[in-house]
Amino acid sequence: MAPETRFIVADEMTTMLDAITQVQIWEVMMGVVKERNIGVLLVSHSEKLLERLCTKILDFEKINACVSTSCLTL
C-alpha cells in the first residue's frame, strides 16, 4: 500500500479464499485502515463480512437504480 493512500476500493478482495484466511487478511487490512485513517469502499456478497466491518451498507438489491435514465432511488 502506498504511504499516502487515502481511500481503498476493495471489490470482492478475499472472496476466493477460505474463511480463516479471509479473517486474517481483513484483521490486518482494517488495522492499517484505522491506523492511517483510510477510507474503504468494500464490495462483497457476504452480508456477514459487511456487517462485521462496515459502518454503512448500501444493498443494491433493495434499491431501484436506473442507469439508463440517470435515476437512483435510495
- Cα–Cα distance, 59 to 23 (Å, whole number): 22
C-alpha cell at 3: 504511504
Q: What is the mean pLDDT of residues 9-30?
A: 89
The whole model's pTM is what?
0.67
Taking a C-beta distance cutoff of 8 angstroms, is the pair 1, 33 a contact?
Answer: no
Confidence at 71, pLDDT banded by 50, 70, 90: low
Q: Where are the domains of the chain?
A: 7-73
Question: Nearest CA to 72 among 51, 52, 58, 55?
Answer: 58
State yes or no: pLDDT of 14 exceeds 80: yes
